[in-house]
Amino acid sequence: MSGLGGLNKSPNGVVIGLAQLQLPDPRTREAIWTQTQKIVAMVGKARRNNPGMDLIVFPEYSLHGLSMDTSPDIMCSLDGPEVAAFRAACVEHRIWGCFSIMEFNPDGNPYNSGLIIDDKGQTALYYRKLHPWVPVEPWEPGDLGIPVCDGPNGSKLALIICHDGMFPEMARECAYKGAEIMIRTAGYTAPIRHSWKITNQANAFCNLMQTASVCMCGSDGTFDSMGEGMFVNFDGTVMVEGGNRVDEIIGCELRPDLVREARKHWGVENNIYQFGHRAYVAVKGGAQDCPYTYMQDLMEGRYRLPWEDEVVHTDGSSCGFAPPTRRYKA
C-alpha cells in the first residue's frame, strides 16, 4: 500500500513526506531566519524528490531547536516573516506543508504550535500542543482543542505534537472528530525510541486510523534526536520506517479511502465505534454510558491519583524552571 514510498500513486492515494530535519540550535533572530530558509529549501527538495507528493511534514522544533529558550525576541507569530515564508514556499512548489513554531504569547509562556498550510498558502489547521513534555518543556498548555481539517485528495487530517501521542485520549479525539490520518511531529531523542514506535502503532490500531510521525534528526552538539519517520496503517502494521539519516525525506502513499472502508465494515476490533457502543450484541445499540472514573473526575475538576501525594516531580524545577504561580484558566 505504500506505493514504493509514494512513487506509484493511486487515484485515491495521499502521498506524504516526513522530513528528518537536521537538529538546529538557533539562538538569535538572524539564526531563526537562516533556519527558516533551510526549511523553505527543504520544501523545494520535497517537490523535486517526488512530483506526486501531496504534503511535506517537518518535525517539532524544526525552526527553534531544543534549547527551550522562551526569549520573546526569537518567538514567532502567525503573521510573522517565518510563517509568511512557509506560505510562499507551499504556493511556489504547489505542495501542502506542516510546520512547527514556538508562538509568542502576550499573556504567559509561549505556545508550541503547529500549522498545516495548503498549496494555496492558506492555513488549513492551527494547533497548540496540549501536553508539553514536562518537566522539560516550559510551553503554555494548548487552548485550541484538537482541530481536524480537510486535506489533500479528500483526506481528513489531524495534527498532534510529540508528547501528545503518549496519551491515548489524544489519538481517540482525532479519530472521533473524523481524522483518517493523524500527523505526529516530535523532537524526541533516542531514549524514547521504543515508546515512540509502540504508541504510533497503538494510536493507529485502536482508532482505525493511519499515522504519520517524524522526529528531528542528528545532533546539535548537546542533544541527539533520532529521526525515524514512521507510517503506520490502520491495522497497526508499520508501512514505511526511516532511520537516522539527517535531512532524508521518508515517503509513503496513504489510503484514507481504505480507512473509511474499515470503519464502516469491520466487526471485530472496530474499537473507535465499539468504545461508545459496548456489548451491542447483548443490548440494543450497546451501552453508551461513561463507566470510567478518571473521565468523570476530570470533568468535575477532581482528577486525583491514588498515589498523588507521592509524586516527586510536579513542576519544572528539576530542569531549571522556577515553579509557576499562575493558575490555568480554560
Catalytic residue among 9, 82, 90, 129: 129
Assess whether 228 carries a catalytic annotation.
no
Strands 181-186 and 230-232: unpaired
> Exposed/middle/buried for 141, CB within 10 Å: 0-12, 13-18, 19+?
middle
Assess whether 162 carries a catalytic annotation.
yes
Task: Going residue by residue through the chain, which has 330 residues, state the pLDDT in tens, using 9 for 90 and above.
Answer: 677 888 889 999 999 999 999 999 999 999 999 999 999 999 999 999 999 999 999 999 999 999 999 999 999 999 999 999 999 999 999 999 999 999 999 999 999 999 999 999 999 999 999 999 999 999 999 999 999 999 999 999 999 999 999 999 999 999 999 999 999 999 999 899 999 999 999 999 999 999 999 999 999 999 999 999 999 999 999 999 999 999 999 999 999 999 999 999 999 999 999 999 999 999 999 999 999 999 999 999 999 999 999 999 999 999 999 999 999 988
Catalytic residue among 9, 60, 82, 149: 60
Can you say how many angstroms the Cα of residue 18 is from the centroid of all Cα atoms in its chain? 12
Pairwise CA distance, residues 92 & 168, whole Å: 37
Q: Are 217 and 227 in contact (CB under 8 A)?
A: yes
- What superfamily does domain 3-274 belong to in CATH? Carbon-nitrogen hydrolase (3.60.110.10)
Which pTM was predicted? 0.97
Q: What is the DSSP string of 203-244?
A: HHHTTT-EEEEEE-EEE-SS-EEE---EEE-TTS-EEEE--S
Grid cell, residue 146, equals 484538537
61's CB contacts (< 8 A; 6+ apart) are 23, 100, 187, 216
Write down the domain spans for the chain. 3-274
Catalytic residue among 76, 162, 174, 206: 162
Q: Which of 157, 158, 131, 155 is nearest to 143 (CA)?
A: 131
